[in-house]
Structure 1
């Protein structure tokens, strides 16, 4: 597993060895790892070195701890390319997973100044506020709050939302979705996110804000999504200009 004569730090060698076992399927999700003491005795190294390797793997989402039970292999993160414009439903189906949503609320409310500026409507104009938990194979992935103009998207119902808003917009309303702008940042889960996503207190969250536009430039929606950082990661391809 390790080469003590190598210039590569021992804790890093341990990390890479565990990662390889996970990637090869030798360690499966929720398998328990040996204790720090067992690792240290087997490899004849200090427990502090083992602890550093394990802590790094926990922090990067490869492992997770349960108090009083031990350290376990985490579920593999879903990887989404930050290229192209697809909805959650389309993205999960493309991965062979079953998407679903738990609709927490669907209300028509007067637009705040901030949301009005995003949707290019007047303050207090009627907008839909849609709050739902997005799931893949029945596992909570994200807490999403979406805002859409009620004058633009008429007739929105819970049934439509649970199927696919994008398909309703394009196939039934005849509107063509064009592009989106979005920002991504890391933050710590709020109490609402902790309860909605079944995660531990102080868990990291990937917060995405996205404004989606129709081909003619009109804003379709403004969405705030809180993704579980332990189950989701985003990647992108960057070209040199």
Structure 2
């Protein structure tokens, strides 16, 4: 069952779409909260929550007494600190990407994660997916889903959205992840998959994803063509 989206999320997504298509350009101000309230036929509180969503994402900056200014937005960027599925990025950034399932079978834990405390004996489901944009391979995702708690990943769920399956169908609460980003020389097979030229490097994002109860559920090695995607983070200062 799909989760029902709140009105504030729907409004935030609509404003984001308008930003992407240039209706609200970088450096300009969004309509006032009163104008947005009238435009969307909702309460001012809902509008404020929608704007807070965009503010947290780094799409806008709220300036006291002036309103919300649109920040410069780069296409096809992957957030470093957040936990976002490829389907969510594909939809929000309108990449029109497709996914091909290369492997969905029992596997073994990669050495990288063994060196970070995951048992070599841990059983995992190995899920390998190729992401393509405009017919060109741009990302190879290699996921290792721990069993237990998981027993299998339906192919349809793997092709559509792994996180949607985990959260909406199985009821798991994905909470946090640790990530490491490196630039490495790919092996011959990976270079062929991503159609890389000789001696071209790949950007590798390795992550360990946990549930709200701190249970480790997913290990990921994600390989990206460096000429197609930019990795960015948006940070807001918090005093400690």
Q: Does 1:109 align with 2:112?
A: no
1:1-241 equivalences in 2 (<5 Å): 78-111=76-109, 115=113, 122-239=119-236
> Contact 2:83/2:176 (CA < 8 Å) preserved in 1?
yes
SS in 1 for 2:168: helix
**Using a 3 Å threshold, how does the CA distance of structure 1 residues 189 and 215 change in structure 2: closer, same or farther?**
same
**Per-residue deviation at 1:204?**
2.1
> Contact 2:108/2:126 (CA < 8 Å) preserved in 1?
no
Q: TM-score, normalised by structure 2?
A: 0.61
**Per-residue deviation at 1:119?**
8.3
Task: Map Cα deviations across residues 11-37 of structure 1 (whole Å, 9 max, x no partner).
Answer: xxxxxxxxxxxxxxxxxxxxxxxxxxx
SS in 1 for 2:181: strand
**Per-residue deviation at 1:234?**
0.6
**Per-residue deviation at 1:118?**
6.0
CA RMSD of aligned residues (A): 2.4
Bigger Rg over Cα: 1
**Per-residue deviation at 1:236?**
1.6
**Per-residue deviation at 1:103?**
1.4
Q: How many residues align?
A: 165
Give the Cα–Cα distance (whole angstroms) in 2 for the partners of residues 112 and 204 of structure 1: 20
SS in 2 for 1:194: helix
**Per-residue deviation at 1:221?**
0.4
Structure 1 residues not aligned, in runs of 5+: 1-75
**Per-residue deviation at 1:128?**
0.4
Structure 2 residues not aligned, in runs of 5+: 1-73
**Per-residue deviation at 1:81?**
2.7
